[in-house]
Amino acid sequence: MRKLLGVMSALALMTGMLVAGAAQAGASSSFRVVWPGQSIQSAINSAGPGGTVVVLRGTYHEHLVITHGVNLVGLGATLTPPSAEQPTDPCSPGTPAQDGICIAGDFTMDQNTGAVTINQYVTGVRISGLTITGFPGSGVQQFAGKGTTFVGNIARNNGQYGIAAFDSTGTTELFNTATGSAEAGFYIGDSPQANATLIGNTSTNNLFGFFVRDAEHGTIAVNRAQDNCVGILFLADAPGPDGAFNVVANSISHNDKACPPSEDGPPASGVGVFIFGAHDVSLHANSIVDNQPSGPSVASGGVVVATGMGGTAPLNNRVQGNVILRNSTDIVWDGTGTGNVLSPNACQSSDPSGLCQTH
């Protein structure tokens, strides 16, 4: 009887959560349940804007395209690549679809420069409880999303990014895991008004654990970055938006994986946090320890602050109140930029010397 009551309570709780998600989507939303062997994409299409799609435990060989607000809930569901080549989709114009999930608003992309013009955002997408694994592109690729939420997903062994958001605003990522990505586990890019929130995520065994590129405004808090080549990277390609992020209470350790040079960049290994031409990044109350290079690297250290791509100088960054210990060098600064405050922290070594002295 007690066991039956426990099962009934769990079912009631799950039903309440799903009903609440559907209610948030609006009174006119529809509800679909997908069983193994059925099509998730068909359920998304038929649910329509504001609908809820629940995917039951099983393995689904699908590539998904989401172009309207939907609440996609996985209950032990795994998404893997289909056996047949997929047609092009909005996230991969002109080429076969590569990503596990493509979330796309209405946008146009210049095929020569890659510049994106947003005509209309896709709003209200929520994805939770899915495992997305083995795709040649990214686990999730988002373009022109607004207010997208990812909760409790796993992106594993995908060929590019784990979960990536381009040209988007208001992305929220809570308690997800990204591992084995050839690029970044979590990526926020090309977003002058990113307003991104990343809390409680785990990023391991990627090139970059968390990567913010040409994007501004956000919070990265209480995450774990471990066993990557670089734990967290802020990169400005040229003068313009990159920074204004609060990085608080994260565990950034043992990022000693060695990544060789590629057409996208130089070799990297042994970097905890790399502020590469960004501005107004605030690092506070983080544990940044045991980041040691295991191979050649463009830089190494617990926290590295340097001029970025195109000569963009780091400006007004604050690295204070962190534990930064047992790294190849705890704090490294190339001396460029203005307004950078790199003390006090609990650290033992710096280049230039003196940054770890208490005053």
Domains observed in the chain: 50-351 (2.160.20.10)
Residue 2 has pLDDT above 70, yes or no: no
Residue 169 has pLDDT above 90, yes or no: yes
Query: Cβ distance 236 to 216 under 8 Å?
Result: no
Mean pLDDT of the chain: 90
Give the residue, 200 or 266, on which the prediction is more confident. 200
Q: CB within 8 A of 231, min separation 6: which ones?
A: 208, 209, 210, 225, 252, 253, 255, 271, 272, 273, 288, 291
Average pLDDT over residues 109-129: 87
- How big is the chain, counted in residues? 359
Residue 94 has pLDDT above 90, yes or no: no
Question: How many percent of the chain have pLDDT more than 70?
Answer: 91
Longest dimension (CA), the chain: 69
> What's the CA gap between 207 and 209, in Å, rounded?
7
Give the residue, 239 or 18, on which the prediction is more confident. 239
Predicted confidence at residue 29, as pLDDT, reads 59
Q: CB within 8 A of 281, min separation 6: which ones?
A: 234, 243, 244, 245, 247, 275, 317, 318
Model-level pTM greater than 0.85?
yes
Give the residue, 1 or 100, on which the prediction is more confident. 100
Predicted confidence at residue 352, as pLDDT, reads 96
> What's the CA gap between 345 and 183, in Å, rounded?
30
For the stretch 26-63, pLDDT in tens is 434 599 999 999 999 999 999 989 999 999 999 999 99
Average pLDDT over residues 198-216: 97
Average pLDDT over residues 10-24: 43
Predicted confidence at residue 207, as pLDDT, reads 97
Question: How many percent of the chain have pLDDT more than 90?
Answer: 79
